[in-house]
Amino acid sequence: MLSIAATLVTAISPTASAGSVLDVTVGADGLPYRKLVTLNLADSAAFTRHVGAWSWQDSNLFDPGEDPVGWMHQSDWVQITLNSPTSLTLRVERQEGVQVNATTIASITSMFPSFTLWSGWDTDGTVEHLYNNDGNIASAEDVSYVGHLANSTQPTAQYTFFDLPAGNYTLVVGSFSPATDTARQGYLATFTTVPEPASALFLISGLAVFGFRRFRAQA
């Protein structure tokens, strides 16, 4: 019986499908969102963009013991909608050839991808030029801190946010460069969702029953 269920799971388990990525026009109020990513279960989506070299954290802007801060408008802000409870894996890596404008290609030498996730969206009110990258943002009261990944040494950063409820989330992507590079930095961001463990267990249980009934019907 167990082998029948396992075979069925392998045979019909869904592969990652394509989520959607839409451009967002930065508004006068709230966080300066540029992208909207919508994901279902077992989904994936990706886009390329560019940010400032020390956009996610500028260590010259705070003293030891103070909240670390980044530059609001040098970072990229992303609206995310999860249509089901899921775990979300985010991978951000250097990407060559990203066009900044008609005459400029982004650099990658000072791209050390770092990111922060909050629940909710903030689309009203006035935000400050700086933001707290490891907690709540005072000027964006509609979002609540979930977690972050700080990376100042590697060209790629990846992290999985487990057990996220369905709903709206805010992501900021930037670079945590130890250099003083002023060039824009190119990156590729990839989003992947998987079913929550409870959902996966339900699927396996249902398939086991299905396999048993099918076996009995043919006996």
In words, the CATH class of domain 17-196 is mainly beta
* Sign (positive or negative) of CA dihedral 134, 135, 138, 141: positive
Mean pLDDT over each residue of the chain, to the nearest integer: 85
φ, ψ at 36 (rounded to 5°): -125, 120
| pLDDT tens digit sequence for 70-129 | 999 999 999 999 999 999 999 999 999 999 999 999 999 999 999 999 999 999 999 999
Band of pLDDT at residue 28, cut at 50, 70 and 90:
confident
Band of pLDDT at residue 27, cut at 50, 70 and 90:
confident
Q: Where are the domains of the chain?
A: 17-196
What is the reported pLDDT for 9?
A: 30
45, 89 contact by CB (below 8 A): no
Predicted model pTM: 0.83
What is the reported pLDDT for 4?
A: 29
**Opening angle at CA 199, ends 169 and 81, nearest 5:** 15
Asked if the model's pLDDT at residue 192 lies above 70, the reply is yes
Region 166-170: what's the mean pLDDT?
A: 98
| pLDDT tens digit sequence for 117-143 | 999 999 999 999 999 999 999 999 999
**Under 8 Å CB-to-CB from 138, ≥6 apart: which residues?**
128, 132
Band of pLDDT at residue 65, cut at 50, 70 and 90:
confident
What is the reported pLDDT for 18?
A: 81
pLDDT above 90 as % of the chain: 75
